[in-house]
Amino acid sequence: MDAYLLDWVNLLLRWAHLIVGIAWIGASFYFVMLDNSLTPPKKAEDAQRGVHGELWAVHGGGFYCSQKFLTGPKGEPLSDNLHWSKWEAYSTWITGMALLALIYWVGASTHLVDARVMALSPMAAIAVSIGFLSVGWVVYDVLCRNLVGRDGLLALLVFVFVMLCNYGLHQIFSARGAYIHVGAMLGTMMAANVFFHIIPGQKRMVEQIRAGQPVDSQPGIIGKQRSVHNTYFTLPVLFIMISNHYPMTYAHKHGWLVLAIIMLAGVLIRQFFVLRHRGEVKWWLPLSGIGLLAALVVVMAPKAPDAAGRKVSFTELNTVIQKHCTVCHAEKPSWAGFAQAPKGVMLQSPEQISQHAAKIAETVASGYMPLGNVTQMSDEERRLIAVWAAQGSNTKN
C-alpha cells in the first residue's frame, strides 16, 4: 500500500509541476516577447506620461495595448492594482524540489547512487545533492554581482560553470541522477533570481514611487538581466525534465557531453526567437541548433553487436531476465518501493519479453537498466542480451 500511495503522490506532483511550470514559462516567454517587441509611443502625451514603449496586439477576439514605464508613470499615481508574476516561479521550484526529494532522495539507493560511478551511501548522496544545488546558486550569483554590464563575459563564464558541474555530477551520481541535478541546479538559479533579485527590486521601485522619491533604476536593470538569464535556461531545463524517458541520452558513455551539446542547441534556438521579437531574423541560429542535434543522432547511433558465433538460446536469455529484471518488471514486483511494474512493462512470459525485446536490449546495453545496477548485472550478461536481440529475439529454443 505504501508503494501504491507513493505512486499517486509522484503522479500528482508531476502533474502539478507541469501545470505551474507551463504558467511560469508562458509568462516568461510572453514578457520577453513583449519587452523585445515594444515600439516608441505614438502619442506625445503618452511619452510625457513616462511611457517607454508600447505594443498593440490582437488575441481572443479583442485588441490590447501594452505600455511599459521604466520607472513608473509621471504626473499620476501608480495603480494599486498591480499584478506580480512570482508564484508561478515559486510553485514550480517547490513542486520540482518535492519531486527531487521523493524520487532521488527517498529512492537514492536506486535512482541516485550508482556504485559503478561512485560508491556513496544514500545519505552521502543526498548531502552532495543539496550541496550542489546550494553552491551552484552561490557561485552563479557571485558571478552576476561582479560582472554587471559585462554580459558577454558573464554568459560565457556561466556556461562554463554549468558544464563543469555537469561533468562533475556525472562522476558522482547515476547518469539519470546527474542529468536531473543539472536541471534542478538551473531551476534553483531561476527561482532564486525571482525571489532574491527580481521581486525585491520591483518592490523597492514601487515603494520609491509611492513615496514620491526619485526611482533608482538599478534594481530594474538587475532584474532585467536575471530575467534574460532565465529565458535562456528554459529550453535546457525543459529537455532535462523529459530526458528521463530517453536513456539513450543520459546513459550514453559520454552522457555529460550529450547534455552539453543539447543545452547549447537549446540556447541557440532560444536566441533565434529572442532576436526575432526585435525584428532580427538570423536563421543560422536555429539551423546551427538543429545541426548539432542531427550530428548527435548520427554519432550516437548504436552499433549492432557481433552476433556471429554460438546461438543464444531463449533459456539462457530468460535466466538473465528473471534474475535481474522481473524483481521490478512483474505483475507483483518484489523489489521494495514498486507497487506495479515501471511503465507497465512486465517481463514474466516469453510473449512479454518478445514484445519489449528492442527496449530491453537498448536499456541494458546503455547501462541504464537495472537501475543503479542494484542486481549486479555483469558485462557478459549484457552482451548475451545484445547478441540475443541481434539474432532476432527468438523466444523459442
105 and 249 in a single domain? The answer is yes
pLDDT per residue rounded down to tens, the chain (397 residues): 476 788 889 899 999 999 999 999 999 999 999 999 999 999 999 999 999 999 999 999 999 999 999 888 998 999 999 999 999 999 999 999 999 999 999 989 888 998 889 999 999 999 999 999 999 999 999 999 999 888 889 999 999 999 999 999 999 999 999 999 999 999 999 999 999 999 999 999 999 999 888 888 888 888 888 998 999 999 999 999 999 888 889 888 899 999 999 999 999 999 999 999 989 999 999 999 999 999 999 999 877 776 666 788 888 888 888 888 888 888 888 877 677 787 788 888 888 888 888 888 888 887 778 877 778 888 888 888 888 888 877 777 6
94 and 47 in a single domain? The answer is no
Q: Which residues contact 173 (CB under 8 A, 6 or more apart)?
A: 112, 113, 114, 117, 118, 125, 128, 129, 181
209 and 189 in a single domain? The answer is yes
Q: Which residues contact 9 (CB under 8 A, 6 or more apart)?
A: 102
Write the pLDDT tens digit of every residue in 202-212.
999 999 999 88
152 and 181 in a single domain? The answer is yes
Q: Which domain holds residue 186?
A: 2-31+85-299
Write the pLDDT tens digit of every residue in 238-251.
999 999 888 889 88
HSE-up of residue 100 (Cα within 13 Å, Cβ side): 24
58 and 199 in a single domain? The answer is no
201 and 270 in a single domain? The answer is yes
Where is the domain boundary, 76, 96, 129?
76
CA distance 321 to 355: 14
- Is residue 305 domain-resident? no
- Is residue 355 domain-resident? yes
- Is residue 376 domain-resident? yes
How many separate domains does the chain show?
3
Asked whether 368 and 248 are in contact (CB, 8 A), the reply is no
| pTM score of the predicted model | 0.85
Where is the domain boundary, 299, 323, 341?
299
248 and 104 in a single domain? The answer is yes
122 and 49 in a single domain? The answer is no
93 and 241 in a single domain? The answer is yes
Where is the domain boundary, 249, 274, 299?
299
358 and 327 in a single domain? The answer is yes
